[in-house]
Amino acid sequence: MNKDRAIFNQNEKLAMTINGLESGGMHFNVNEKQADDLVKNEAISKFNTQVDEYVNRFEEHAKALEKAVEEFTMSSKAEIRPIGNYIIIKPFAENPFQRIKKVGRLIIDLGGQKPQYKNNDNGEIEEEENITKSGVIVEVGPECKWAQIGDCVFYPRTSIIPIPFYKQGLELVNESRLIAIVNDNLTERFNGR
């Protein structure tokens, strides 16, 4: 058994030496170039080809987008309107209704600032996401009962459908998913319905 193991080890060592994986290994030349250089050059060439293909696909996509925008803008002035009981919201970067509360030099309320924590998976310091978002309504669907353009609203992050309309950062939310509406004279509006 030890004799078979010794022969296997010798064969393995010989294979590693031939492939240049062990110090003092043999180097092969092909057309006066080392095989290692040929392999490296082939890998570089393959990578450059992949990059060129990616750039070409990107340029074709950009041209198609430009053509679509040109065709669309030539025919009309673009507007966006939700259907049914959906509303379009322009979200606030930070909730404007929260304030930092201090007593002397002691902060007792962060005012909606996102708490930070250390992620146990990767060890990085990350910000916790707020569950509730706020924003202003820019458009309402024809079946909306309570929400109106200009209302500030609170809504859950899980209800958001991003609207990729000229990179305005708009979000679509169903009216029934709103948590609260903030505006003047809401009591009169709601009692009148």
Output 151 or 62, whichever has higher pLDDT: 151
Percent of the chain with pLDDT over 90: 21
User: Which of 47, 146, 99 lies closest to 173, judged by CA?
Assistant: 146
Output 95 or 60, whichever has higher pLDDT: 60
CA atoms within 13 A on the CB side of 24: 2
Q: What is the pLDDT of residues 93-104, one digit of tens each?
A: 877 777 666 777
User: Between vectors from CA 59 to CA 54 and to CA 63, what angle results, nearest 5°?
Assistant: 150
User: Which of 181, 175, 144, 148 lies closest to 159, judged by CA?
Assistant: 175
User: Which of 80, 175, 95, 87 lies closest to 135, judged by CA?
Assistant: 95
Query: pTM value?
Result: 0.53
Q: What is the pLDDT of residues 130-177, one digit of tens each?
A: 788 899 999 999 999 889 999 999 999 998 999 888 778 899 999 999
Torsion, CA 120, CA 121, CA 122, CA 126, rounded to 10: -60
Q: What element of type H or E holds 107? A: strand 106-109
Taking 70 as the threshold, does the pLDDT of residue 88 lie above it?
yes
